[in-house]
Chain A
Amino acid sequence: SQQGEEDPQALSIQEGENATMNCSYKTSINNLQWYRQNSGRGLVHLILIRSNEREKHSGRLRVTLDTSKKSSSLLITASRAADTASYFCATITYGGATNKLIFGTGTLLAVQP
Chain B
Amino acid sequence: ETGVTQTPRHLVMGMTNKKSLKCEQHLGHNAMYWYKQSAKKPLELMFVYNFKEQTENNSVPSRFSPECPNSSHLFLHLHTLQPEDSALYLCASSPWAQGVSGANVLTFGAGSRLTVL
Residues of A whose CB lies within 8 Å of any CB of B are: 2, 4, 30-31, 33, 35, 40-45, 48, 50, 88, 90, 92, 94, 96-99, 101-106
Contact = CB atoms under 8 A, between A and B. Distances in A.
Given A40-B88, A42-B2, A88-B43, A94 B105 contact: no
A78 B28 CA distance: 36
Interface stretch (B48-56, B59-67, B69-77): B48-56
B21 interface: no
Contact of A45 (B40, B105, B110): B105
A69 to B, nearest CB: 21
Contacts of B56: 97-98
B116 to A, nearest CB: 18
A70 B107 CA distance: 25
Contacts of A44: 2, 108
Interface of B: 2, 4, 6, 40-43, 45, 48, 50, 55-56, 88, 90, 92, 97-99, 101-111, 113
8 smallest CB-CB distances across A and B, nearest first, come from: A42-B108, A103-B43, A97-B55, A98-B55, A98-B97, A98-B56, A43-B108, A31-B101
B24 to A, nearest CB: 14
Contacts of A50: 101
Given A43-B108, A44-B2, A30 B101 contact: yes
Contact of B104 (A4, A92, A96): A92
A31 B100 CA distance: 10
B113 A43 contact: no
Nearest to B56: A98
B102 A42 contact: no
A2 B107 CA distance: 21
Contact of A97 (B50, B92, B104, B105): B50
Contact of A42 (B40, B48, B111): B111
Given A41-B111, A97-B56, 16 more contacts: A35-B106, A41-B110, A42-B2, A42-B4, A42-B109, A44-B2, A45-B106, A45-B107, A97-B50, A97-B97, A98-B55, A99-B98, A101-B45, A102-B42, A102-B45, A103-B42
